[in-house]
Amino acid sequence: MKKNRDRAWYALFTVPLLFIFSIVVIIPFLIGIYYSFISWDGIAANPKVFVGLDNYARLLQDSRFIRSGWVTLQFTLLALVIVNVFGLLFSLLVTSKLRLRNAARTMLFMPNLIGGLILGYIWKFIFTDAFRNVGEATGWTGFFFNWLLDPQYALFALVIVFAWQMAGYTMIIYIAGIQGIPDDVMEAARVDGANMWQRLTRIIFPLLMPSFTICLFLTLSGAFKIFDVNLSLTGGGPINATELLAMNIYNEIFGYNRYGLGQAKAIAFFILVAAVTVTQVIITKRREVQM
C-alpha cells in the first residue's frame, strides 16, 4: 500500500517534467538527427532531399566551420581559466573577515542577473564609442581603441564580457564549497603552523574538488555553447573572426538556408561538447576527496 502511494508521488513529480523534457528536448533532437541526413532550404513547400552522410562529409571540409571551432576552443580555454580564477578569488574574498563582504557578494553576483543580450549591447557601447573617446581624450590609444574592429581584441572582448557574466555564478558555488569545509580542520591546520599558501593548496583545494567539478563543467559547456553575447557584442565580426560555433551553425541555417548541413553541424557540435564535458567530469571526479 505504502509502496503504491510512494510510486504515485514519484510519478507526480517526475512525469510532468519528463513529458516536457521529451517534447522540448528529446523529440526535436531526434527530428534533428533525421534532418541532418537531408538537404532542404527551409521553405515548407520545397522538397527535402535525402543525401545520406553527404552533409557530414561537407562539414569536415568547411574551412569556416573548422576556423569557428579553433576560435571557440581558444575562447573556451581563456574563459575557463579567467572565470574560475576570478570566481575562486572572489569567493575567498567574500568568505574572509572583510567588513564589506556581504555588499561585495551581491555586487559581484549582479552581472549574472542581466541577460546576455543586454550585457553584450552595453559592453559593445563601451568597447566601441567609450574606448574610442577615452583614447582620443587621453592619448593612450594603445589600449583605448575600438576593440571590436580588431579580430584578436574582439575575442578578448568576448572573454571579458563572458567572464564578467559568469564569475559571479561560479563564485557562489565556490562559496558553498568553502563554507562546507569544517572549521576544525582549518583550525587544526593553523595550529600545526601551516601558512596561507599551504592551507590553500593542501586543504581548501582538495576539499573543493566537487565545486571544481561543477564549475569547470558549467564554464566549459557554457563557453562552448555561447551565442547571445556573441550575437550582441560582435555579431560574429569583424570579418567573421569571432564567429563561434553556435553562431556558425545559426548562420549556416538561417543565413545560407542550408538546413540539412546546419543540422549536421549541430549534431557534430553536440557530440563534441558532450565528449569534452563528460571527460572533464570523469577526471575531476576521480580527484574528489570524500570527508
Partner 1 sequence: MVAACGNGANEPTPGTGGGNNGGSGGMAPISIFQSKVEIAGELEALAKKYTEETGNPLEVWGSAGDAYITQLQARLTANEGPTIFSVQPGEEAERFKSYYHDLSNEAYVADLAEGIGLEIDGKIMGMPLAVEGFGLVYNTDLVDPANVKDLASFTETLKQLKADGVNGLSLSQEAYFLIGHLINTPFSLQEDPQDYLAKLAAGEVKTAETPEFQEFAKFLEVIRAETTNPLEVTYDRQMGDFATGRNAMVHQGNWSYTMLEDFGELNIGMMPFPLMGNDKLAVDIPSAWVINGKASEAEIKAANAFMEWLITSETGKNAIVNEFKFIPAVTSIEATDLDPLSQAVYDATQNGNTMPWALNYFPPGIIINDLSPLAQEFFLSSSMTGEQFLERLDQIWANAG
Stretch that binds partner 1, among 103-111, 167-175, 192-200, 253-261 (CB under 8 A): 253-261
By CB under 8 A, is residue 251 in contact with partner 1? yes
| Closest to partner 1 by CB, 211 or 232 | 232
CA 259-262-268 angle, to 5 degrees, is: 140
Note whether 28 binds partner 1 by CB under 8 A: no
Cβ atoms within 10 A of the Cβ of 115, count?
A: 12
Least distance to partner 1, CB of residue 16, Å = 25
Residue 60 DSSP SS3: helix
The answer to the question of residue 238 lying near partner 1 (CB under 8 A) is: yes
Report strand pairing: 49-50 vs 38-39. Answer: antiparallel
Q: Which is nearer to partner 1, 112 or 257 (CB)?
A: 257
DSSP 238: S
Kindly state whether residue 46 participates in binding partner 1, applying the rule CB under 8 A.
yes
Binding residue (CB under 8 A) for partner 1 from 95, 112, 146, 277: 146
Q: What is the DSSP string of 138-187?
A: H--TTTSS-GGGSHHHHHHHHHHHHHHHHHHHHHHHHHHHHHTS-HHHHH
Q: Is 256 in the site for partner 1 (CB under 8 A)?
A: yes
Query: Is 216 or 247 the residue whose CB approaches partner 1 more closely?
Result: 247
Q: Which stretch binds partner 1 (CB under 8 A): 6-14, 183-191, 238-246, 265-273?
A: 238-246
Cis peptide before 238 (omega within 30 of 0): yes
Q: Does 254 bind partner 1 (CB under 8 A)?
A: yes
C-alpha cell, 244 = 563561434
* Alpha-carbon gap, residue 260 to 233, rounded angstroms: 28
C-alpha to C-alpha distance for 33 and 56, rounded to whole angstroms: 12
- Sorted by sequence, the CB contacts under 8 Å of residue 263 that are 6+ apart come out as 32, 35, 36, 55, 253
Q: Nearest approach, Cβ of 63 to partner 1 (angstroms)?
A: 11
Nearer to partner 1, 62 or 288 (CB): 62
CA distances, 134 to each of 139, 159, 181 (Å): 8, 21, 46
- By CB under 8 A, is residue 257 in contact with partner 1? yes
45 binds partner 1 (CB under 8 A): yes
Task: Count residues near partner 1 (CB under 8 A).
Answer: 19
* Cα separations in angstroms, 188 against 163, 202, 269: 35, 13, 48
> From the CB of 213, what's the least distance to partner 1, in Å?
38
- Rounded to a whole number of angstroms, the minimum distance from the CB of residue 132 to partner 1 is 8
Q: Which residues bind partner 1 (CB under 8 A)?
A: 41-46, 128, 132, 146, 149, 237-240, 251, 254-257
